[in-house]
Structures are given as C-alpha cells and as structure tokens.
Chain A
Amino acid sequence: NAGVTQTPKFQVLKTGQSMTLQCAQDMNHEYMSWYRQDPGMGLRLIHYSVGAGITDQGEVPNGYNVSRSTTEDFPLRLLSAAPSQTSVYFCASSYSRGAKNIQYFGAGTRLSVL
C-alpha cells in the first residue's frame, strides 16, 4: 500500500492563478480531508468528505473547492490563489472503528503564493 499520496510536493504560484492539489489513497477509506498548517498554529480543517459524492466544509473553506467522485481521490482546488494561502497542505484519509477515527496523513504539499 502506498497509503496517502499527495502531489505536487512543492508549488509556487502567482496571485490569481488557479491550481489543483492532488490526493489519492489506496486503503479504501471512507473519510478524506484537507488541512492547512501554518507556523505557530494547529492544523486547520479546510474541507472533508465522508464518502464518494459527499463533501462538507471545515473550519477554513473560503477560497478552496473540493470534489469526491471516487473513493480513492480527493483533489483540492484553489480558485484564485492569494498570498494568505501560502501554507503546507496535508491530505488525510481515515476510517472509523467505534468511536475511534484512525487517520493517516500524506507527506504534504508546500505552497507559496507570490
């Protein structure tokens, strides 16, 4: 199993450009989510999905879109990049076992918006 794969690992954008961060998992997990991690702050949830065709907003969804057409893939789209979106983005997939949510993270995408 490759686990959770994120591409690209690094990206530099100019303000106003759009791009898609890719995330794929091969563990057949129902749940997938996107987080951003900024210096001195905890990870913050952007969007999440509880299954194919179902997505919902997290804590900081503005400026981002997601879709979940398959169980395996959960891309994150930046519609018009802004410097405030400079961050490290993590994708995670998870499954529930009772009240426990077992979560696996990708290696991250480091994004700079100039």
Chain B
Amino acid sequence: KNQVEQSPQSLIILEGKNCTLQCNYTVSPFSNLRWYKQDTGRGPVSLTIMTFSENTKSNGRYTATLDADTKQSSLHITASQLSDSASYICVVSGGPAGGSYIPTFGRGTSLIVHP
C-alpha cells in the first residue's frame, strides 16, 4: 500500500532558528513529490514540486531535497518567521499506471514558531 510518513508530528522553534521536516514514502512507481504549507483554516498552498531527476528545489527560505533511492525527502526552513507557523504536508504522486494524478498525502507536521 502506498504510504507517506512525516516526522516529527509537531515542532516548536524560536523565531530566527532553522528547522528540517522529514518525509519518507513507499509510493511506487514514483512521479513527483510536493511540499505544501497549510495555514489554519485555509487550503494547502504549494511550496515545491520535484520529479525523480531533481534532488533539490528552493522557494525563498524553503528548500526541499529528494533522495529517490532511499525514498526520503526533507523540507528545510531557514531563519524562521512567525508566519511560518502552519502545517507542512508532503504529497507523493504515482500509481499503478505511473500517472501523476493519484496522490498520497502525509498527515503533516505542525510547526509553531514562537517569538
């Protein structure tokens, strides 16, 4: 069964500090991996998307890495801000036909940034 596991479940850091969120997946075949940010009461917003051939992708202070061999991804947040407080969701797409449409969502990591 396709699965996406995220760790930690929750994280509290001080403003200005860096942090790294982890995502392990068993989805096969693999098409792409996405990281989303979801603010409380809002829909998810895409941060990065990577295919098999990409091992790093940045979006401002957010940098995602992908190791397709070990089926692991990480999201690194640099110089955290209060507005980074949100849930971060890892999503992996792929399916029996190799299509990119059937996604498997992780449960998310809840990040709280304290002043």
Contact = CB atoms under 8 A, between A and B. Distances in A.
B93 interface: yes
A42 B93 CA distance: 14
B12 interface: no
Contacts, number: 58
B86 to A, nearest CB: 14
Given A43-B105, A45-B103, A100 B43 contact: no
Interface string A50-87: 10000000100000000000000000000000000000
B107 A31 contact: no
A20 interface: no
Contacts of A44: 105
Interface in B6-58: 31-32, 34, 41-46, 49, 51-52
Interface of A: 4, 31, 35, 40-45, 48, 50, 58, 90, 92, 96, 98-108
Interface range on chain B (Cβ under 8 Å from partner): 20 to 34
Interface of B: 4, 31-32, 34, 41-46, 49, 51-52, 89, 93, 100-108
24 contacts: A40-B107, A42-B105, A42-B108, A43-B105, A45-B103, A48-B101, A90-B43, A96-B101, A98-B51, A99-B51, A99-B100, A100-B32, A100-B51, A101-B32, A101-B100, A102-B46, A103-B34, A103-B46, A104-B46, A105-B43, A105-B44, A105-B45, A106-B43, A107-B42
Contact of B93 (A50, A58, A101, A107): A101
A27 to B, nearest CB: 13
